[in-house]
Structure 1
Amino acid sequence: MMNSNDTADKFAVIETLYRFAAGIDLRDRELLASAFVENAVSDFGPAAAKAGFEYPLLQGREVIVAALSDSLSGFDTTHSVSNPRVSLDGDKARLEAIVEAQHLPSNDHSRHYLMKNRYDVQLARQGEVWRIERVTVDNVWRTGDLAVLAVV
């Protein structure tokens, strides 16, 4: 049976992915950075491969924040998190969720690229806050104009 501490931790773990998504969508680098440990790893490779391109493994919070912020600067995006499942193990956690990522060129909302992705996230508690140690993103399906992603 789950106790109230487990419930609070599970919500806090999910909130970490919300900070990640909101940081991207609001173009708030500080908020985005708050979701990651300093030596975090971000792997969008599986999702990128299904879309037909390569995306490098990103290592380190500053590298991740700069790469995501810069590569998405020409877009209006919305990231919606659903179906989160959290498992806890002391100060470590694993989060699996579905994230829908909509990308529209900032200067042309008549075009879009929409991805439904599976996120596999490993997290660590740092003080009172949970942060991402590693995130791997795989694609479930995608639709729209792939050329939109070539805008940047």
Structure 2
Amino acid sequence: MFVTRESALSTQSAHMTAVVRELRDHAEILDALYRFGLGQDLKDEELFASAFAAEAELDFRPAAARWGGRPPLMSGREVIVSTILAMFTGRVDTTHQITNPRISVDGDTARLTALVEAQHLLTADHATFALLKNPYDVELVRDGERWVIRRIRIHNAWYTGDPTAFFGRAEAV
């Protein structure tokens, strides 16, 4: 599941124009995941939506299976944005921290793997929480000068707290 190349860049350092382009691509690819996380944390519909391609898919099923959750595969930017923000806005405070990003670019497509620590607290009662450490597997496509998520699959390495308070067992995410 992880991007495991031995170096961050594939371009030879003697080709500075190519190196600069690859560095820009890496920054824009990582920014797509930052927009995903911060858009949720701020409940900012425009920022959150800017992370996704129109036909994007969000698959939270592998993570939710760890605690018996059975969410559907979410397809389409509008469905993803409206579902996630409706579930959290006014009800759940979140913070997302993104670490260990690894990126592989192939023309106008890319793959990003990262670890995301996602804290969820009920707005009315911060004693009810779930802290999740999730490996993310993300496929992206170039959209002009920026990159957007085409497919994101979220796994779970571990959690503490009560994820069912936020995601349920059998309910849709």
Calculate the TM-score normalised by the size of structure 1: 0.95
| Structure 2 counterpart of 1:59 | 75
1:36 is matched with 52
* Equivalent of 1:92 in 99, 102, 109: 109
Structure 2 CA distance for partners of 1:84 and 1:61, relative to 1, 3 Å: same
Q: Which structure has the greater CA radius of gyration?
A: 2
> SS state of the match for residue 56, structure 1?
coil
- In structure 1, stretches of 5+ residues that fail to align are none
**TM-score after normalising by structure 2:** 0.84
Which residue of 2 is the match for residue 77 of structure 1? 94
- What is the rounded CA distance, in whole Å, between the counterparts of 1:66 and 1:72 in structure 2? 10
RMSD over aligned CA atoms reads 1.4
Within 5 Å, which residues of 2 pair with 1:1-152? 1=12, 3-73=19-89, 74-149=91-166
**Percent of counterpart pairs with the same letter?**
48
Q: What is the CA-CA distance between 1:146 and the residue it aligns to?
A: 3.3
**Structure 1 residue ranges (4+ consecutive) displaced by more than 4 angstroms after TM superposition:** none
Amino acid of the structure 1 residue aligned with 2:46: E
C-alpha distance in 1 between matches for 2:164 and 2:21: 46
2:126 counterpart SS class: coil
Which amino acid in the other structure matches residue 59 of structure 1? Answer: S
Looking at structure 2, the residues matched to 149 and 51 of structure 1 have their Cα atoms a distance apart, in angstroms, of 12
Q: What are structure 2's unaligned runs of at least 5 residues?
A: 1-11, 14-18
